[in-house]
Amino acid sequence: MKLTKRNENYSKWYNEIILKANIAEKSDVRGCMILKPYGFAIWEKIQSILDRILKSTGHENVYFPLLIPKSFLSKEFNHIKGFAKECAVITHYRLKNLNNKNLIVDQSSHLDEELIVRPTSETIIWNSYKRWINSYRDLPILFNQWANIIRWEMRTRFFLRTSEFLWQEGHTAHSTKKEAINHTKKMLNIYTNFVENFFSIPVIQGRKTSSEKFAGAEKTFCIESIMQDGKSIQIATSHFLGKNFSKAFDVKYTTKKGKKKYVWATSWGISTRLIGAMIMTHSDDKGLILPPKIAPIQIVIIPVYKTQEQLHLIEKIVFPFKASIEKKGINIKYDKRTYYTPGWKFNEYEIQGIPIRITIGKKDLDRGTVEVVRRDTLEKKNISIKKLETFIPKLLYKIQDNIFKKALKRKEKFLLKVDSYEEFKKKIKTNSGFIFSHWDGTSETEKKIKFETNATIRCIPINLTSKLGKCIFSKKKSKQRVLFAKSY
């Protein structure tokens, strides 16, 4: 029943918390998980908030097919090189019945052209942009789609890496390079605000090195965050695709002056991985800690009573309070199940990370108070019933703020400037975290450091500037420091 402690076995803790909080389960399909109602409700929160943000910044939702003809995928050389090794391929379209028991693939139904289950949708979308874009008047196109993706992963972990995952992918088309680059950065900022404001996860913005960038992109920007175990995770990416896809799919527009020009592109995405990052950022040894803005249930009320009269008196307080708090758009659950004891419920809702728990029983009735417990600090307070309605929204705000500050402190603690390779190796081994060091800019050095230490360059940070220096590994000239870390 008890959760493994973080410092005993971090990844075991992570798996258990997901199972015990009823967020997700492994499925019988290798590498694919089942999102249970509580977990899917978190995804729905992500969808509804981000969808609103995307629409308010001029994006429109579309939906393209799950299946992509093989020929589309092979049009952009770097793109296919990056994805070829993890594609699910559909080769047949019919089964037949063998001796009324077993189904077998009907070999006569082989497809002339195999279909790929989308690992991302640039190709199938740009194939349509070719038809939709003729004039400068058709630009920009700012489309987004909510979809599932298949990437055939060898080794999977709940939310962090699964063969099938859910995401949104934005695909935009622009008339100028400048506009496309600006849009790439704009999306990075949108993601940053979204993750920091709603998830209370502080991030670092940066650019990927050429070996880490998206296959088919000119430049890949990302937001990275450090988890409680000192490992870094990429939370979102935004790509400047240059003219790579417009050239591959021959997408040109006519300028005002009548010239034909290739279209500039961006793509960007955030996935169910964000849920994994949220769990690892905030949760503790007692279970999940959900940011109030993301928690599907923000408050739970637990009655403690012996007689029906007591229950009646409790509900005379609970029902009006519940109704008025719901009017403020706060989700509140009243749990009066009798087959679980209050103690059982306390533990259950702690595992589920519900931000505020209110207990009301005979003692409270006598005093005219309720017991309010906040999940992030586990602090208990008796609050008078009269003040409750103003107290609760403020407390939700405080919790959101407190977990952000806590994560921010950790981010600072885990960011170290290191100038010697010996120290670098030591730090990576012992407490990990982000190590801010000089790099000569070559893939060879990057590879060697990865081979020797397991740390990779997570990004070249945008907002952390640094002076010229010497590469920590090769001692060659370095333009700026980059962030190294072990990663998920």
Q: Count how many Cα atoms sit within 13 Å of the Cα of residue 402 in the half-sphere of its side chain.
A: 16
Taking the complex as a whole, the smallest distance from the CB of residue 278 to RNA amounts, in Å, to: 18
- Contact between 26 and RNA (CB under 7 A)? yes
Among 42, 351, 399, 472, binds RNA (CB under 7 A): 351
Q: How far is CA 453 from CA 6, 423, 430, in A?
A: 23, 12, 11
- Contact between 218 and RNA (CB under 7 A)? no
d(CA 154, CA 85): 10
Range in contact with RNA (rule: CB under 7 A) among 119-127, 198-206, 248-256, 344-352:
344-352
Q: Are 355 and 376 in contact (CB under 8 A)?
A: yes
- Contact between 85 and RNA (CB under 7 A)? yes
- Contact between 308 and RNA (CB under 7 A)? no
Range in contact with RNA (rule: CB under 7 A) among 58-66, 298-306, 323-331, 419-427:
298-306
Taking the complex as a whole, the smallest distance from the CB of residue 440 to RNA amounts, in Å, to: 21
Question: Which tokens go with 337?
Answer: 């199940």
Q: What one-character DSSP code corresponds to residue 5?
A: P
d(CA 124, CA 140): 18
Among 94, 363, 405, 429, binds RNA (CB under 7 A): 363
Question: Which tokens go with 322?
Answer: 């519940």
Among 46, 124, 166, 215, binds RNA (CB under 7 A): 215
d(CA 78, CA 116): 17
Range in contact with RNA (rule: CB under 7 A) among 66-74, 110-118, 370-378, 467-475:
370-378
The residue count for binding RNA (CB under 7 A) is 44
Q: Are 318 and 308 in contact (CB under 8 A)?
A: no
Taking the complex as a whole, the smallest distance from the CB of residue 85 to RNA amounts, in Å, to: 5
Best CA proximity match to 272, nearest among 235, 238, 239: 235
- Contact between 30 and RNA (CB under 7 A)? yes
Among 188, 236, 373, 388, binds RNA (CB under 7 A): 373
Among 178, 380, 405, 409, binds RNA (CB under 7 A): 380
Would you say 104 or 111 has its CB closer to RNA?
A: 104
- Contact between 212 and RNA (CB under 7 A)? yes
Q: 313: burial class by Cβ within 10 Å (0-12, 13-18, 19+)?
A: middle
CA 337, 338, 342, 343: dihedral to nearest 10 degrees?
-110
Taking the complex as a whole, the smallest distance from the CB of residue 87 to RNA amounts, in Å, to: 11
- Contact between 101 and RNA (CB under 7 A)? no
- Contact between 305 and RNA (CB under 7 A)? yes
Give me the 155-194 binding string for RNA, x by CB under 7 A, dash otherwise. Answer: x-----x---------------------------------
Give one DSSP letter per residue of 432-479, joined into a string: -SEEEEE--S-HHHHHHHHHHHS-EEEEEESS-----EE-TTT--EES
- Contact between 449 and RNA (CB under 7 A)? no
Taking the complex as a whole, the smallest distance from the CB of residue 337 to RNA amounts, in Å, to: 9
Among 53, 62, 365, 416, binds RNA (CB under 7 A): 365
* Amino acid residing at 345: K
Among 180, 190, 304, 354, binds RNA (CB under 7 A): 304
Best CA proximity match to 399, nearest among 267, 227, 270, 282: 282
Among 36, 185, 286, 293, binds RNA (CB under 7 A): 286
Q: Is the alpha carbon torsion for 442, 446, 447, 451 positive or negative?
A: positive
* Amino acid residing at 178: K
Residue 34: partners with Cβ closer than 8 Å, 6 or more residues away: 24, 25, 26, 27
Residues that bind RNA (CB under 7 A): 1-3, 20, 26, 30, 82, 85-86, 153-155, 161, 212, 215, 234, 286, 304-306, 338, 341-344, 346-348, 350-351, 359-365, 371, 373, 378, 380, 456, 487-488
